[in-house]
Structure 1
Amino acid sequence: MIIAIDGPAASGKGTLGKRLAAHYGLRHLDTGLLYRGVAHVLLSAGHPADDRVRAAAAAAALDPGRLDEDALKTQAAGEGASIVSAFPEVRAALLDVQRRFAAAPPGAVLDGRDIGTVICPDADVKIFVTASAEERARRRFLEFRARGLAVTEAEVLDDIRRRDARDTGRAVAPLRPAADARLLDTTALDVEASVAAAIALVEAARR
């Protein structure tokens, strides 16, 4: 079984991906980490995230097995990921990595922004997760504060809105629900309620 979860930044799709994978005994891939990894390579070397040539080279050389999730969960990496993910060369380089992961037994849960529309259009279950920009900014702000990062909630909200505009407006694989995706709004839901709602959607799709 392949479960595709898409949605904007901080909508809760990553947490749902991990929990659904554990619930159904599947592997999990947070595809956003791939793009964060590309951005991290550029930024760590002192290059801007909008360096298209270097971004494509970094994507082609990326080893998904060596990604450090904690190091990549920064505001800079997230902002950079939104920039490099707009480059067709970067998306093309990472396409096969994601599809191979999804195809390996016994199946997988992938979360990102184009899983149901591009990466796994034939996924058994597609869920599009969303939440208000304000709620998503509040969640991300709390994450950053827990890590001791100095950032204001207003700054996080501005970043969320910029990323939403880039993700939905890019020419290649824009963020949008697949035609057959089941929608899940987590604005008013805590983690446990969101997981329960997602499991219910999966079970409904399987029936």
Structure 2
Amino acid sequence: MSLPFVIIAIDGGAASGKSSTARALSERFNLLHVDTGSFYRAITAELVRRGIAPENLDALRAALAALALGTRVEGRAARMEIAGRTVDPAEIRSPAVNAAVSHFAAVPDVRAALLAYQRGQAGVARGHGFRGLVMEGRDIGSVIFPDADFRFFLHADPEERARRRALEGQQDSIAERDRLDTQRKTAPLAIPPGATAIDSTHLTLAQVVEKISVLVAVKIPPLPPAAA
């Protein structure tokens, strides 16, 4: 009997543990890992490079309409391609992108431009033979995949998230990102109705992954340790 194709949605604010958790789950269950935050960062880096401001809607819309988006699968991770090239990881974590990404992400045209692309990652996962998809972001369980097999929302105290961000060498303001992400009119950051909320403040990564894995394993078994 063939296993079902599983979609896992993980939402949460900056430094809540989404990325580390999603990567661990992708390895444990052979899922394509999709970090939608990196998509918004890649788009932001491209728009910043072109000198386009988020409030310049005419220029922004023209640029979005002309973007040729693709996906490159590296290991178990999906990376966005823009006109056939992937954006340097250092560029999408630059201070300029850190300062601008939430402003671009709040523009409805930007979110609309990425909606079909993000949903299309399920097809990418199927095409590459993965057993499912684990997608992380801020509106995955509410907008992108509201009918996902599993929907989780990770959160932690602001002080703990700021500490984690500092350990990563990132300087963006957690409080400001939270304010922009929760107050935007289109797809604000919020716990989707029916999602499982996990407070990761006092949990290790292994403990968070185990909490989720126990639920996911009901539908698909984890890979043997040697294959994970």
TM over 0.5: yes
Tell me the number of residue pairs that the alignment of Structure 1 and Structure 2 aligns: 195
Which of 19, 26, 34 is the matching residue for 2:24?
A: 19
SS at match of 2:16: coil
Q: Which of 88, 100, 105 lines up with 2:120 in the alignment?
A: 100
Is 2:181 the partner of 1:161? no
The 3-state SS of whatever aligns with 1:144 is: coil
Q: Verify the 8 A CA contact 1:38 1:62 in the aligned structure 2.
A: no
Deviation at 1:205, TM superposition (A): 8.0
Aligned to 2:98: 78
Decide whether the 8 Å contact of 1:102 with 1:109 is kept in 2.
no
TM score, norm. by length of structure 1: 0.84
**Bigger radius of gyration:** 2
Match of 2:44 among 39, 46, 61: 39
Q: Please, what TM-score do these two structures have when normalized by structure 2? A: 0.77
Amino acid at match of 1:127: F
Q: 1:48 to 1:194 in 2, by over 3 A?
A: same
The counterpart of 1:91, out of the listed 107, 111, 132, is 111
2: CA distance, partners of 1:205 / 1:175: 28
Q: CA deviation at 1:32?
A: 0.6
Is there any run of 5+ residues in structure 2 with no aligned partner, and where? 1-5, 70-79, 221-228
Counterpart of 2:3 in structure 1 is none
Structure 1 segments unaligned to the other structure (5+ residues): 146-150
Matched, 1:173 2:187: yes
Pairwise CA RMSD of aligned residues?
2.1
Q: Amino acid of the residue matched to residue 70 of structure 1?
A: A
Structure 2 match to 1:148: none
Higher strand share: 2
Amino acid at match of 1:20: L
* Comparing 29-38 and 67-76, the one that deviates more: 67-76
Look up the equivalent residue of 2:49 and give its one-letter code. S
